[in-house]
Amino acid sequence: MRRHLVLCAATALFLAGCGSSTTPPQQSPQAGQSQKAEPVTVDWWHIATNDPGKSTLDKAAKAYMAEHPEVTIKITILENDAFKSKMSTVSSAGQAPDIFTTWGGGVLAQQVEAGLVKEVDLGEMKDSLTTAAVAPYVIDEKVYAVPTDIGMIGFWYNKDLFAKAGITEPPGTWSAYLEAVKKLKAAGIVPIALAGKEKWPGHFYWSYLAMRIAGLPALQQAAETKDFTNPDFVAAGQQLKALADLQPFQKGFENAAYPGPTGQSATVGNGKAAMELMGQWAPGSQKTEGKGLGEALGFFPFPAVEGGKGALTEAFGGGGGYAVGAEAPDAAVDFLKFLIAEERHAPAINDDLWLPIHKGEEATVSDPNKKAVAEALATATGFQLYLDQAYPPAVGQEVNDSVAQLIEGKKTPEEVVQSITEVAKSE
Amino acid sequence: MRRWVTITLFLLPALVLFVLLVLLPTLMAGYLSFFKWNGLGGLPTNYIGLDNYTRLFESDIFYGDLRTMGVIIVLSLLVQLPFSLAIAMLLHQRIRGRAFYRLVFFAPYVLSEAVTAVLFTMIFAPDESGLANAILGVVGLESEWFADESTVLLTLFVVMSWKYFGFHTLLYLAGRQGIPKELTEAAQIDGSTPWQVFRYVTLPLMGPTIRISAFLSVIGTIQLFDLVWILTGGGPSHSSETLAVTMMQFGFKRAQIGYASAISVVMFLLSLVFALWYQRYVMRRDLEGATVQ
């Protein structure tokens, strides 16, 4: 009875959301390959509510339908949060759309475990995509989504303020970095802007330090054994504490958001802080939230830690892509391959939509900031997905929460790894 | 017989809504709180008994939530409600522009919580750009407001009071207007001072209104969410977190629906026990005559 009610409610929501849908989607696993006559409908949920994303995706769908008259692609555009809540509604009823937005990692792994999505056969395309682009969607060595975008986190810095503090080149080692922070402080400049209220920007620091000190294999191993008590992770916390002890963040960072007129992005964009550790979207955001730095903006990767097991060339970041529902027709995967084929993907990069996912595609990028990220990614020797995305949601949030408390001086480096381990073991 | 048909007919629409939107979700939450469930793939199967509850009662965050709740309830009852009462008494006098003041004081209550929160984020900005620091800086009282653990609850309380005092003032004003003029006049003729009139005539007669306003204030605080979520997100370091914020964190950010349901059940029980106790002991006399014998 109860099950019935849940199903009814979910179905009602589902139908209401789909608006004009009158015919139920016809799905048979072999539909894509069988005779042309058999019509197929592909349900596609994405979150590109604005251009250029919205129109690019729409155009691609129309172009595909023109080539394959038997396929109807039905697009449902949802706002980010609405998408997430609608996804949880349909997935608790055990159903997923044929194609839907994903960021990979722990959430995708849970969907795989619940049998909501299926493995994607990339075919020949698998070799042309960069390792980093596919990495977020690999679960037990199987690929569960088609990537459209990949980016990485690094330091976005104000060249003018660095020069004012007498720093001639971006620091390549952690000790040089701490030295640079001290120089900025001495020159009366706020070294770093941080959105403490939102917690996720803070976890970038701990994650990168863990990658540099403990190395990538250690992070993957910790995820499997659910044990983060490795002394190298404690050392990462100690280095972050050493940074926080210099009080490098803007006044009142504990309650600062990322967007907004007093947020992290605007603080850097208005030249009130010298740098931020942020993803490829930072330059755009600095311009919309603040004035933007123009030519003065530069990018450098997270410095290497002396004696650490990780390398400067290992990247930390994430991207976006599309997962395929467990009962989706073959046309769904075929369409996704069509969507990201280089002749369609590369022009979209310069339309300000995506970043390169194909090998060598970075050569086509014209924007200098995007190029900096794309080149760093193209030469990356290893890739780690955002920890709050890679791990199950509860573990990821605990990383964010504990690290925030470490930065605010409420937790010791040892307590951070203990809390994370405790949550990981209980999952 | 005809009477029952009529009663059923009139009751049905409300009953259906009540069952569907109140009773059923409550029972669902109670049921889910015994499971470890991430909300995916059909119904929960991993029954873990009372584990979610024992985990909750061992969590520091839970006791922090209770502390936040306690502090805000005490401040509301001791500061916000007396302040509203004083304003109501003033607005009851014949003063110039009375209608204007009534409108102004009630206006914040009409604003949405999100708008209020965004507004005060700017006013209480931690640096020199905020209005509060610009004004208080003159006398050397700058603070980091929401960014500092020692001031966050007080700042939050100021915002809550600003938002809700108009509502309580309105209640008190209505209560005050319900008191017949003859009573206060009689006291004045007998030589009472204005304070005595207030203390021995007005205040006792306003008892029912004050009791209902205190009740609404406490229940509202137990369920406090929107303002905190936007203003502080519960931070810094959980120092302004409320039960509802914790529930949101675990249910929607950490995908632990079972645990979040346990939190919601505890919130429900707190409100229910308080409401029953309050009605039984504090509002007993006010409710007499409310039911037909």
Q: Which tens digit of pLDDT belongs to each residue from B152-172?
A: 999 999 999 999 999 999 999
> Does residue B139 form part of some domain?
yes
Listed in sequence order, the DSSP H helices in A293-329 are none
Inter-helix orientation angle A330-340/A342-350, to 10°: 50
Of A92, A252, A260, the CB nearest to B39: A92
> Does residue B46 form part of some domain?
no
Which tokens in the block code for residue A296? 């003065």
Domain that holds residue B138: 59-255
Q: How confident is the model at residue B291 (pLDDT cuts 50, 70, 90)?
A: low
Which tokens in the block code for residue A282? 């930072």
Beta bridge partners of A342: none
Pairwise CB contact (< 8 Å): B235 & A254: yes
Pairwise CB contact (< 8 Å): B147 & A404: no
Mind listing the pLDDT tens digit for each residue in B102-128?
899 999 999 999 999 999 998 998 888
The CATH number of the domain holding residue B86 is: 1.10.3720.10
Q: What residues in B contact A260, CB-CB < 8 Å?
A: 121
Prediction ipTM score: 0.85
Predicted local confidence at residue A104, as pLDDT? 92
The per-residue b/e assignment along B112-151, b for 16 or more CB within 10 angstroms, e otherwise, is: ebeebbeebbebbbbbeebebbeeeeeeeebbbbbbbbeb
At A43, phi and psi to the nearest 5? -90, 125
Predicted local confidence at residue B290, as pLDDT? 53
Predicted local confidence at residue B142, as pLDDT? 84
Nearest CA in chain A to B127: A251
Q: How far is CA A296 from CA A157, A263, A369, B72, in A?
A: 8, 20, 11, 47
Predicted local confidence at residue A58, as pLDDT? 93
* Contact residues, chain A to chain B, C-beta under 8 Å: 2-3, 5-6, 88, 91-94, 107, 110-111, 113-116, 196-198, 250-257, 260-262, 392-394, 397-398, 404-405, 408, 410
Predicted local confidence at residue B41, as pLDDT? 64
Rounded distance between C-alpha atoms, residue B182 and residue B55, angstroms: 59
Pairwise CB contact (< 8 Å): A254 & B125: no
Total domain count, chain B? 1
How far away is chain B from the Cα of A194, in angstroms, using its nearest Cα? 12
> Does residue B51 form part of some domain?
no
Of A3, A88, A253, the CB nearest to B43: A3
Mind listing the pLDDT tens digit for each residue in A118-164?
999 988 888 889 888 998 999 888 999 999 999 999 999 999 999 99
Of A113, A115, A252, the CB nearest to B147: A252
Rounded distance between C-alpha atoms, residue A379 and residue A382, angstroms: 9
Inter-helix orientation angle A105-113/A393-407, to 10°: 160
For strands A138-139 and A142-143, give the pairing: antiparallel
B60 lies within 8 A of chain A by CB: no
Q: Tell me the Ramachandran region of residue A60: left when phi exceeds 0, alpha when psi lies from -120 to 50, beta otherwise.
A: alpha
Rounded distance between C-alpha atoms, residue B209 and residue B237, angstroms: 38
Predicted local confidence at residue B261, as pLDDT? 95
Sign of the C-alpha dihedral, residues A304, A305, A306, A309?
negative
Q: How confident is the model at residue B27 (pLDDT cuts 50, 70, 90)?
A: very high
Fold designation for A26-152+318-385: D-Maltodextrin-Binding Protein; domain 2 (3.40.190)
Average pLDDT over residues B13-27: 94
Nearest CA in chain B to A7: B42
How far away is chain A from the Cα of B46, in angstroms, using its nearest Cα? 12
User: In terms of Cα–Cα distance, which of A194, A206, A208, A203 is closest to A276?
Assistant: A194
Q: How confident is the model at residue B40 (pLDDT cuts 50, 70, 90)?
A: confident
Q: Indicate if the pLDDT at residue B221 is higher than 70.
A: yes
Pairwise CB contact (< 8 Å): B40 & A110: yes
Size of interface A-B (CB pairs under 8 A): 101
How far away is chain B from the Cα of A57, in angstroms, using its nearest Cα? 28
Under-50 pLDDT residues of chain A: 1-35
Listed in sequence order, the DSSP H helices in A93-215 are 105-113, 125-128, 131-134, 159-164, 174-186, 200-214
Predicted local confidence at residue A14, as pLDDT? 41
Specify whether domain A154-316+386-426 bears CATH 3.40.190.10: yes
How far away is chain A from the Cα of B60, in angstroms, using its nearest Cα? 13
Q: What residues in A contact B114, CB-CB < 8 Å?
A: none
Domain boundaries defined on chain A: 26-152+318-385, 154-316+386-426
Predicted local confidence at residue B106, as pLDDT? 93
Pairwise CB contact (< 8 Å): B235 & A196: yes
* Angle ∠(B252,B60,B147) on CA atoms, nearest 5: 75
Quick count: other Cβ atoms within 10 Å of Cβ A14? 16
Nearest CA in chain B to A253: B147
**Cβ contacts of A284 within 8 Å, gap of 6 or more:** A352
3-state helix, strand, coil in chain A (%, to 5): 50, 15, 35
Predicted local confidence at residue B253, as pLDDT? 87
Pairwise CB contact (< 8 Å): A6 & B255: no
Looking at every residue in chain B, the average pLDDT score rounds to 91
B241 lies within 8 A of chain A by CB: no
Question: Which residue in B237, B245, B249 has the most chain A C-beta atoms within 10 A of its own C-beta, making it the best mutation to test that interface?
Answer: B237
> Does residue B5 form part of some domain?
no
Q: In what order do the strands lie in the sheet with A297-300?
A: A275-278, A154-158, A297-300
